[in-house]
Structure 1
Amino acid sequence: MDGSRVCRFFRQRGNCKFGDYCKFSHDLEGSVARQYAERVWSHHQASTSSGPAPDWSFRCCTYNCLADELATAHVAELYRAVPRWALEWRARFDGLLREIQHWQPDLLCLQEVDHPEDFAQALEGLGYEWRYAQRTGGRQDGCATFWRSSKFSLIGEEVIHMSSLNLRDNVAQLVLLRPVDCGEPGRGKNSPSASEGVAFLVANTHVLFNPKRGDIKLAQLRTTLLRMDAICQERGGPTLRLFMGDFNATPWSSLYRFLAEGRLDLAVEDRRNMSGQTEGRGWPPKWLKKCMPSAPQPVPRRVAMRADDPSFGSASQPLEPHMLATSQSTVNLKDVELNSTPQRVLHNSVTLRAAALESVARSPLNSATSHGSSWPCGLSSMQAMRRASQSPGQQLYCCVDAVTGQSFMSPLPPVQGCAKPRVPFFYNAMITAPADVLLSPRGSPHHPRQYPLKDWRLEELQMCGATLQPAPSLNGYVDSHKEEKTWVVEQPQAMSSAYAEVGGSEPNYTSCHGRFIGTVDYIWYHSQASSYVLEPLRVLDPPPLETLHCGLPSPEWASDHICLVCEFGLRNNILLRADTV
């Protein structure tokens, strides 16, 4: 008897004709408990220290619950491995509701909701209040925000219809909430209700999916952020900001950096690659098998070395055009620790010479069998990359984006003669560092910003809210294409990602279906308002990728996204200092 899997007939009908002779388990509750046990909490270091406990805490969750209409429309394309009964709305809704009840969030942001009445009827009985904003243009789904009435009270609400700004049919839902002191144990005079009026401005959005329209995605994000800032200014009192949802952008992509850094220089951005999304083969991850070597491969020469390495090539060495690799992804230095000396050359201030530009014209997905990295089946792409970078003797190869000047490391060896170099979809962003100095084909150094704007029209720049600003100084570089101004997009407040703050990196994945495995959902927050400080205490990690028997959704998980859950703590520094005097 296979006790780890629940009989699908018992799950669907509540009974099974085989009874006790069935080889599968009939313990549905036990199966659900094991399923949720696969997701573990990662704690922030500050929350486990001996410091003072937060004055007030709450739990928030964001969940793209997969609209019923979209699940039906894309079943042949994205969900071929999923049992058909597991895609039916009633079965998935039961799973969604069961998961929400298990994690018990105080604040819940849902996307792709096309049956709001089902959620309202179920969650109102659990003590939630809610607001719903449907997409325009005849779309059937929208965003829904729920909050526990014993934890928050509503001050105001607003819906931003992007169609009114000619930014497609997406919406952004804003609710202004006031914390409520419900007299729980451990609450004292420092609770928010005992202090002057702090509030939370919560934004819930689902950004446009189209990977090639980074300009529209950027404009949608900027519109929401500007309106959030205006509401905080109008209110006057301390207002903490939360921005949650499906952003359709991978970690450390251009859109991600816009949120995290507060500005983006469009002079070095290609709007078609700003989200970092690269579709390809998703679930099942057959690419893991294709990456297994079929025969011993010769060890290629190193292409990334320290500048003081005696074997480093001459700076005047001419470069051939095919040596310049292009990339659709960027890489996050936080996600991979490079242990060996040759692998650390791209951190912070790095001088890349001619040998570093002798990069790899990476092969398309169907030629991945020639690569010599052995990744065990069942690992996610990020886990495989991490394991590859940490394994003894594993060689990483330096790649440089010929357009943006960004450099990144890949365990895939060079492949020559590839007609159309392409990054396999599973090679998501993992480590990134702008190259300080590159070499032009003539061997003279130049700055990456010297590339002109690529495929940007004036109306697209204006739609994004870009403004002309003085270009950064190019001192120390040969000024072959002088620019006095550059187009820059800014937003009022740089935000922090809760998962990156707690765990040092984003989750390995938040979405997994037949065309994509990667991270696109986030919980962003602004950490301080007046004397109040908001900090993430712990976050819920996704289930291991190898436990997904058919990708997402599945009989165990009801959507093609996993929910992100974070527990926040709120402190009042003024009251804290007063108590310690």
Structure 2
Amino acid sequence: KKHSQRRMSTSQGEDGSSAGAATAARQQLLAAVEQHCSNSPCPAGPLSRQFRQLIPSDSVMQSGQFRVLHWNILAQALTGAEGGSHFDRVEPGVTSWERRRWYLLRELLRFQPDILCLNEVDIYDYLLENLAPLGYRGCFRAKPRSPCLSFPGNFGPDGTAILYNTHRFECLQSETGLLIEPNEDGTEFLDAPSGAGSQVFVLLRLRLLNPPATDDSDGGGELWVAATHLKAKVTFSNLRLLQTKALITALKERVPANSPLLLCGDFNGESFEPFYNVIVQSGLDIASAYKQPEEPPFTTFKYVGKSAEPQARGIDYIWYRRLRPLALLEIPPRDSVESNGLPCAAFPSDHFCLSVDFCFCKN
């Protein structure tokens, strides 16, 4: 059964609900989510996760603090729920849409993010239908050659989305684009506007509502947010490098050098791959929020097919510039997911979400 395809506007200024109405809508949705999760097949509470403070919370003005969450939510078409499962250790029924839809919402709601950067989104209309009453608006770009389209009963192409809370931010500018890819012989590049690329990016310019006027903060409260999803599979390391270079060029052409910037995504590569150093040395002057002091050992943990060994890799990132990270959501310990991997009864994706609290700063 397909999710609702009701279209909702993502334009700025059409949200007539007050913050109080949004709070009431959130409480109502949370109650429905908890009821459906409790009554679902294989009911399970959420995985235990905690925010780790990087800077004492009492040293930051609350009005200048915001939370970003990045997550590859796992496209429904790629769960194997309709047959030919990709994840052999997943309990039957766990990835069915009627069950999973509620567990996805629970995970998105539980941390109350102000900005959501999402990959493998083939349910954008469903997300807006449920999150718009809470004050969220967004921007979505589908992959031109989405693998989801090859599966019977798919919900449409997957892509990348950014959603933001209109009670915290206003959107000043939005843009989406394609990342270039090489021709089959690898000698030249396909032009991104031709539609031949399969990976995309989304870019928003946001402004914090009522930013704090302090000596330590960037008083304008403007923030550029980019989200992307690079080519999968270990063998495509060189293609990820090329896509990263294309993304860096796009950001340099659009984002002023002194502006705060967030870059979130499933880069499908670990920190030893060439793309990582290219970002570090790009001149964008951005740092990885989860490098504390090393990147997490894994952000995805799954058993694919009949393999006895899990694919446990750290491939998701939140990069930042001219912002101060205050706290980050810790990755669960390995033993909490080692038996069957992800997705599981308690968690609906094969990637953990990353989340960081930031505040604006001058340096």
TM-score by length of 2: 0.75
In 2: Cα distance, 1:188 partner to 1:492 partner: 28
Measured after TM superposition, the shift of residue 543 of structure 1 is 1.7
Compute the RMSD of aligned alpha carbons: 2.9
Q: Could you tell me which of 314, 317, 323 is aligned with 1:522?
A: 317
Measured after TM superposition, the shift of residue 254 of structure 1 is 2.0
The equivalent of 1:241 in structure 2 is 261
Q: Could you tell me which of 38, 44, 51 is aligned with 1:41?
A: 51
The equivalent of 1:213 in structure 2 is 236
Letter in 2 for 1:68: Q
Letter in 2 for 1:120: L
Q: Which residues of 2 match residues 470-549 of structure 1 at below 5 A?
A: 491-500=282-291, 503-515=292-304, 516-526=311-321, 528=322, 534-548=323-337, 549=339
Return closer, same or farther for 1:84/1:229 CA change in 2, 3 Å cut-off: same
In 1: Cα distance, 2:137 partner to 2:203 partner: 14
Q: Does 1:170 align with 2:199?
A: yes
Q: Could you tell me which of 352, 360, 363 is aligned with 1:570?
A: 360
SS in 1 for 2:206: strand
Measured after TM superposition, the shift of residue 51 of structure 1 is 5.4
Letter in 1 for 2:289: A
The equivalent of 2:223 in structure 1 is 200
In 2: Cα distance, 1:77 partner to 1:14 partner: 24
Measured after TM superposition, the shift of residue 41 of structure 1 is 1.8
Q: Could you tell me which of 206, 214, 221 is aligned with 1:190?
A: 214
Measured after TM superposition, the shift of residue 13 of structure 1 is 8.4
2:80–2:86: 8 Å Cα contact kept in structure 1?
no
Letter in 1 for 2:120: E
SS in 1 for 2:348: coil
1:54–1:571: 8 Å Cα contact kept in structure 2?
no
Letter in 1 for 2:274: S
Return closer, same or farther for 1:50/1:103 CA change in 2, 3 Å cut-off: closer
Which runs of structure 1 show a deviation greater than 4 angstroms over 4 or more consecutive aligned residues?
10-13, 49-55, 73-77
Letter in 1 for 2:158: D
Return closer, same or farther for 1:520/1:201 CA change in 2, 3 Å cut-off: same
Q: Which residues of 2 match residues 542-557 of structure 1 at below 5 A?
A: 542-548=331-337, 549-557=339-347
Return closer, same or farther for 1:99/1:518 CA change in 2, 3 Å cut-off: same
In 2: Cα distance, 1:101 partner to 1:86 partner: 20
Query: Is the deviation greater in 556-565 or in 83-92?
Result: 83-92
Q: Does 1:179 align with 2:196?
A: no
Measured after TM superposition, the shift of residue 49 of structure 1 is 8.6
Measured after TM superposition, the shift of residue 131 of structure 1 is 0.9
1:111–1:142: 8 Å Cα contact kept in structure 2?
yes
Return closer, same or farther for 1:126/1:255 CA change in 2, 3 Å cut-off: same
Q: Which residues of 2 match residues 109-148 of structure 1 at below 5 A?
A: 109-137=117-145, 139=147, 140-148=157-165
Number of positions where the alignment pairs a residue of Structure 1 with one of Structure 2? 301
In 2: Cα distance, 1:172 partner to 1:52 partner: 32
Return closer, same or farther for 1:89/1:239 CA change in 2, 3 Å cut-off: same
In 2: Cα distance, 1:81 partner to 1:125 partner: 36
In 2: Cα distance, 1:137 partner to 1:541 partner: 34
The equivalent of 1:151 in structure 2 is 168
In 2: Cα distance, 1:243 partner to 1:74 partner: 33
SS in 1 for 2:234: coil
Measured after TM superposition, the shift of residue 162 of structure 1 is 2.4
Q: Which residues of 2 match residues 145-544 of structure 1 at below 5 A?
A: 145-162=162-179, 164-165=191-192, 168-181=197-210, 189-190=213-214, 197-233=220-256, 238-260=258-280, 262=281, 491-500=282-291, 503-515=292-304, 516-526=311-321, 528=322, 534-544=323-333
Measured after TM superposition, the shift of residue 110 of structure 1 is 0.7
In 1: Cα distance, 2:37 partner to 2:57 partner: 46
Instruction: Give 5+ residue unaligned stretches, structure 1.
Output: 1-9, 17-23, 182-186, 263-490, 529-533, 574-581
SS in 1 for 2:77: helix
Letter in 2 for 1:200: L
SS in 2 for 1:219: helix
The equivalent of 1:403 in structure 2 is none
1:78–1:513: 8 Å Cα contact kept in structure 2?
no
TM-score by length of 1: 0.48
Measured after TM superposition, the shift of residue 109 of structure 1 is 0.6
Q: Could you tell me which of 78, 98, 106 is aligned with 2:114?
A: 106
Return closer, same or farther for 1:74/1:542 CA change in 2, 3 Å cut-off: farther
Return closer, same or farther for 1:78/1:200 CA change in 2, 3 Å cut-off: same
Query: Is the deviation greater in 61-70 or in 512-521?
Result: 512-521
SS in 2 for 1:84: coil
1:134–1:143: 8 Å Cα contact kept in structure 2?
yes
Q: Could you tell me which of 76, 80, 85 is aligned with 2:93?
A: 85
Measured after TM superposition, the shift of residue 212 of structure 1 is 2.0
In 2: Cα distance, 1:74 partner to 1:248 partner: 25
1:55–1:190: 8 Å Cα contact kept in structure 2?
no
In 1: Cα distance, 2:219 partner to 2:101 partner: 40
Measured after TM superposition, the shift of residue 203 of structure 1 is 0.8
SS in 1 for 2:271: coil
The equivalent of 1:14 in structure 2 is 39
In 1: Cα distance, 2:349 partner to 2:221 partner: 35
In 2: Cα distance, 1:550 partner to 1:11 partner: 23
1:113–1:141: 8 Å Cα contact kept in structure 2?
yes
In 2: Cα distance, 1:15 partner to 1:93 partner: 11
SS in 1 for 2:255: helix
Q: Higher Cα Rg: structure 1 or 2?
A: 1
1:161–1:171: 8 Å Cα contact kept in structure 2?
yes
Cα deviations across residues 19-40 of structure 1 (Å, max 9, x unaligned)?
A: xxxxx9xxx6xx53xx34x212
SS in 2 for 1:118: helix
